């Protein structure tokens, strides 16, 4: 073969690679989650669920690229910039901590790449504007969870409450939603304290709360760092009722908390207690289907809020891809923009944690069907109330 022919074949190969037929283009999804660091207990089940995601959507092969941000927002930004600029992903899933998700709003908007966050705070997607138009969120808003939690308090005669939450965006969001709803339900907050995720002692804060003699204490933390305030309350002899948020629903929380967290009440997504949901619950079938799939891979009673959220993210994406493919091929700006539009127009999609109906002003799309009250009984998450 002469030089001219070799050069011709080489150029043909380059051109062929540059103009891949739309039918052969592969979808690339970048994932940023906290697999290590303070939020590792959240990231582990999230990653487990992602490893179960099918490798094909709407006849297209899908590549998932998973990066660990070590619970650090700065790492999350570096990871996602790399996923967008080097890997050319079509969509970002994660992060699963609120500070990291907030740090990425500008990044994904600038790149025109949709993001499905796995963190809870409503501030990730509200208020909707040009930047947040590219951001969607799977977990229920804290307002949804605070609504059922304060209803449970009111129904059980709680008149006064002490509050201790993370000194970050998660704690801020819960304080904002809980304090507002507590006032509406005539529940008086008699003490309010904060602590850091990596603190090793909260004795000072707990003593201040106990001196106010509240009927109940709400701990606005997540994963294993949420154990510390509760353990301190128990060790100091607190006898009132203890509430936690939906951020505790991990096996590690139960393992670390042990007998100190027994009896705790907490709002949660229905998937966490799928086996005990009333037959009338509208998401019971879908939640049970995923629970069986997850437990077949990872063992009985391993379901968590965060695994279910991750599977919901897959279902949301799988529902949007067929529509997006009509507007562009994977890897193109047109496909990313169409994905964003398709996600925004999700209607009546039942996922393990609720029924999704999004629009241009609501990038969560969940309603009261997305939460119930749970309780820790015999070191397991159990259904308690609602739904």
Sign of CA dihedral 371, 280, 158, 183: positive
Quote the DSSP letter at residue 369: G
Same domain, 262 and 175: yes
The answer to whether residues 82 and 128 belong to one domain is yes
CA dihedral 266, 275, 143, 151 (to 10 degrees): -60
Residue 136 shares a structural domain with residue 148: no
Distance CA 179, CA 184 (A): 9
Kindly report the pTM of this predicted structure: 0.85
User: Residue 120 has what pLDDT?
Assistant: 86
What 8-state DSSP symbol labels residue 345? Answer: T
Residues 319 and 257 in one domain: no
d(CA 374, CA 267): 6
Identify whether residues 107 and 47 lie together within a single domain.
yes
Q: Within a domain: residue 1? A: no
Residue-level pLDDT at 9: 46
Q: What is the distance between the alpha carbons of residues 36 and 136, in angstroms, rounded to a whole number? A: 24
CATH number of domain containing 168: 3.40.50.2300
Tokens read off for 22? 């739309």
Q: Is the pLDDT of residue 249 over 80?
A: yes
The answer to whether residue 310 scores a pLDDT higher than 90 is: yes
Please tell me the predicted confidence (pLDDT) of residue 2: 53
Say what the pLDDT of residue 18 is. Answer: 44
Q: Which of 18-32, 188-202, 214-228, 246-260 has the lowest mean pLDDT?
A: 18-32
- The residue range of the domain holding 190 is 142-268
Residues 302 and 237 in one domain: no
* CB-CB contact of 232 with 347 (8 Å): no
Residue 8 lies in a domain: no
Structural domains of the chain, count: 2
| Confidence band for 121, pLDDT divided at 50, 70 and 90 | confident
- Decide if pLDDT at 170 tops 50: yes
Give the confidence band of 159 by pLDDT, cuts at 50, 70, 90.
very high
Same domain, 113 and 146: no
**Which residue, among 34, 43, 112, has the nearest Cα to 73 in the 3D structure?**
34
CB 189, CB 220: distance < 8 Å: no
291, part of any domain: no
Assigned domain for 123 exists = yes
Encode pLDDT of 345-387 as tens digits: 999 999 999 999 999 999 999 999 999 999 999 999 999 988 6
| 75 plus 87 within the same structural domain | yes
Least confident of 38-47, 75-84, 208-217, 315-324: 38-47
Residue 25 reports pLDDT greater than 70: yes
Identify whether residues 327 and 355 lie together within a single domain.
yes
Burial track 202-241 (b if 16+ CB lie within 10 A, e otherwise): beebbeebbeeebbbbbbbbbbbbbbbbbbbbbeeebebb
Same domain, 115 and 170: no
Same domain, 167 and 247: yes
pLDDT category of residue 13 using cuts at 50, 70 and 90: very low
Asked whether the predicted pLDDT for residue 10 surpasses 90, the reply is no
Q: Is residue 385 part of a domain?
A: no
End-to-end CA distance of the chain: 73
Do 258 and 146 belong to one domain? yes
pLDDT at 8 over 70: no
Q: How far apart are CA 180 and CA 174, in angstroms?
A: 10
**Is residue 378 a part of any domain in this protein?**
no
Q: What is the model's pLDDT at position 149?
A: 97
Alpha carbon 352 to its chain's center: 13
């Amino acid at each position: 073969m002469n030089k001219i022919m070799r050069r011709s074949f080489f150029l043909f190969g380059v051109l062929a690679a540059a103009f891949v037929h739309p039918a052969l283009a592969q979808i690339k999804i970048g994932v940023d989650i906290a697999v290590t660091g303070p939020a590792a207990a959240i990231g582990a089940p999230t990653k487990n669920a992602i490893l179960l995601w099918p490798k094909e959507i709407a006849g297209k092969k899908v590549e998932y690229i998973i990066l660990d941000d070590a619970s650090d927002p700065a790492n999350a930004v570096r990871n996602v910039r790399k996923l967008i600029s080097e890997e050319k992903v079509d969509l970002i899933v994660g992060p699963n901590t609120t500070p990291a998700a907030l740090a990425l709003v500008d990044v994904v908007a600038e790149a025109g790449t949709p993001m499905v966050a796995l963190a809870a705070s409503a501030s990730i997607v509200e208020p909707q504007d040009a930047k947040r138009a590219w951001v969607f969120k799977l977990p229920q808003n804290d307002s949804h969870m605070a609504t059922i939690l304060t209803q449970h308090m009111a129904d059980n005669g709680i008149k006064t409450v002490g509050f201790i939450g993370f000194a970050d965006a998660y704690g801020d969001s819960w304080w904002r939603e809980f304090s507002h709803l507590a006032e509406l339900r005539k529940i008086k907050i008699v003490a309010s304290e904060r602590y850091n995720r990596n603190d090793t002692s909260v004795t000072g804060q707990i003593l201040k709360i106990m001196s106010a003699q509240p009927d109940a204490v709400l701990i606005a933390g997540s994963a294993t760092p949420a154990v510390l305030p509760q353990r301190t309350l128990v060790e100091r002899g607190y006898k009132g009722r203890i509430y936690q948020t939906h951020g505790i629903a991990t096996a590690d929380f139960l393992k670390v908390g042990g007998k100190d967290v027994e009896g705790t009440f907490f709002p949660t997504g229905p998937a966490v207690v799928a086996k005990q949901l009333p037959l009338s619950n509208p998401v019971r079938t879908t939640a049970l289907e995923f629970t069986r799939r997850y437990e077949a891979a990872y063992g009985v009673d391993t379901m968590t809020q965060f695994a279910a959220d991750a599977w919901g993210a897959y279902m949301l994406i799988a529902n949007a891809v067929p529509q997006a493919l009509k507007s562009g091929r994977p890897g193109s700006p047109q496909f990313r923009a169409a994905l964003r539009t398709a996600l925004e127009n999700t209607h009546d999609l039942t996922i393990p944690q609720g029924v999704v109906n999004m629009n241009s002003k609501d990038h969560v799309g969940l309603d009261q069907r997305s939460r119930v009250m749970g309780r820790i009984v015999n070191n397991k998450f159990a259904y308690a109330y609602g739904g």
